Amino acid sequence: MNTLNTKNPHKIKAVFFDIDGTLISFKTGKIPESTQKALEKLRENGIKVIVATGRSISSLHHIQHLEFDGFITFNGGYCATASKELISKYTIDPEDIQNLIDHAENFPLSYSLMYENKVEINDATPEVVGMYAHVNLPVPPIHDKENIDKENVLQANIFLRPEAEAEFMHKVMPKSIASRWTPLFADVNPGGISKKVGIETFCEHFGIDVSETMAFGDGGNDISMLKFVKIGVAMGNANDIVKEISDFITEEVDDHGIEKALIHFGII
């Protein structure tokens, strides 16, 4: 075995992983065997393995066959232990949700509202249906406009082009923050919430310093965590902005990118 592997020269104690395009291939919809083995080696070496995703806590069945030490979901809005015990939870300001609903009544806009145990959409356009197929998730039910729970929305997805995002957020959802990993839609979370906040939560939970952390990602919603950790790794399939702010660019998920980066840094 390479001597670097046994020394863990960067003293990494926790590694955070985005799911779509990082753990799970967009091409196959699966986690490569090399990635699964790499995660097992990390945990065998006593390193915490934590998910950091924009997905909901109830949409993790694609990775449930693997063991993790925690889950950052809703882009940092909901953090839970391996046994799904809640650590932290943040909801979008109800006024912003009402503004979103009102705006969609007057202008063509598709959106989804994500809760702890459910997801609802306002319409099922081909764009919306295609997005859920892309991440291998069922199309959510259409909500009852007269009975929308505006108090407990953890995340919204707005199907809006990037060039329209800034004006929309300023006028319609000013108390929230948007990020995206695809041109098709943006994730909207409570103001101040990001995957970086999720990492801070778990560092405190496990008594780990941020200088002892590493993260992998490929999309715009990963930027905050990749800049925050000691070693931020962009997947080969990441967009250019993500690659620019990262400490290292590895191969694509299908080309064993996670395993190769962990070996490169002597973590496994």
Euclidean distance between CA atoms 85 and 136, whole angstroms: 25
The residue among 194, 206, 189, 205 whose CA lies nearest residue 76 is: 194
- Asked if 226 and 215 touch (Cβ cutoff 8 Å), the reply is yes
**What integer pLDDT is reported at residue 6 of this predicted model?**
54
Give kind and range of the element (H or E) at residue 248: strand 248-249
Q: What is the pLDDT of residues 14-35, one digit of tens each?
A: 999 999 999 999 999 999 999 9
Q: What is the pLDDT of residues 145-195, one digit of tens each?
A: 889 999 999 999 999 999 999 999 999 999 999 998 888 899 999 999 999
Euclidean distance between CA atoms 8 and 27, whole angstroms: 32
Euclidean distance between CA atoms 246 and 215, whole angstroms: 10
Q: Which domains does the chain have, with CATH numbers?
A: 3-89+193-264 (3.40.50.1000), 94-190 (3.30.1240.10)
**What integer pLDDT is reported at residue 134 of this predicted model?**
78
Q: Model pTM?
A: 0.90
DSSP assignment of 147-202 equals S--TTS--EEEEE--HHHHHHHHHHT-TTEEEEEEETTEEEEEETT--HHHHHHHH
* Amino acid residing at 174: P
